[in-house]
Structure 1
Amino acid sequence: MSTVTQRLAELGIELPAVVPPVAAYVPAVIEGPLVFTSGQLPMVSGALPASGKVGDGHGLVPADDAKEYARICALNALAAAASVLGNIDRVTRVVKVTGFVASDPSFTGQPGVINGASEVLGEIFGEEGRHARSAVGVAVLPLDSPVEVEVILAFE
């Protein structure tokens, strides 16, 4: 059986550096056999790739772009988890994903956006990447991010 690190390499995925907190919290916490990550924004090299509401209109973040940002959020969450575990290979299962989408009032495609996070976790962890999930539309997110994702992971 391959390790998580090996699977990431096979997929050509490199976990990013841990995103520094933008307020009074830590990126991840261990409690019992679980790691809880804080909500992760789609930060790339210290900046958001886009901002604003997700929807189907002029001036809105397209759902396909937001789906990619949700993927980035999930990878940032794995980096946060690895930072407290010492090694991402200790993760044995993705337990829960909660995704928030800053949504235009008429947008109802939140599940499709958060699929970006769910799909990459499935690619990395296989069957152990199948998880419970919530996809929630919200009025606004920190820093005007279009998406935010938090995860709960089991580990040994």
Structure 2
Amino acid sequence: MIIRVCGRASYLNSMPLGDLFKWMFSSGSSRCIIDFEVCTGIDSTFLGILAGLALELRRQNRLSDCQLCNLNERNYELIQNMGLDRIFKVSRETLIKGNDSDWVHVSGLENQRPTKEMILKAHENLLAINGSNKNKFEDVITFLQRQNGSLNKIR
């Protein structure tokens, strides 16, 4: 499967991505290339959804099945800072050629609103991937846990 991220990769489009990954695993597939050529930025929730994919692939011992490509300098730096480059194959180069007409645009996904639980899980995934992310997201996680009424101590 090839996924092209268009525009800003944020909490607003993280839920459909998470659903796509769940479908991918339930259908027995785990191979994917995520293309960031036209991605203008990435927020922590989106990175956390990617971290969740990495955790599931690691659990299945299939980490080599997913690649991130076409990352601009800033997005590449974000991937590195979160520690995702230690888990995924990451390339700043183009792995996929094609015109816009070669891609299928999936619409209607923008109407899916993220839940607090999904945002919390995404940030917990970032901690599971890289312990140094605790300092970056401890306050966010604590706030979301309080909102959800599930205040568990952050490890």
TM-score normalised by L of structure 1 = 0.28
More helix by share: 2
The structure, 1 or 2, with the larger RCO (C-alpha pairs under 8 Å, 6+ apart) is 1
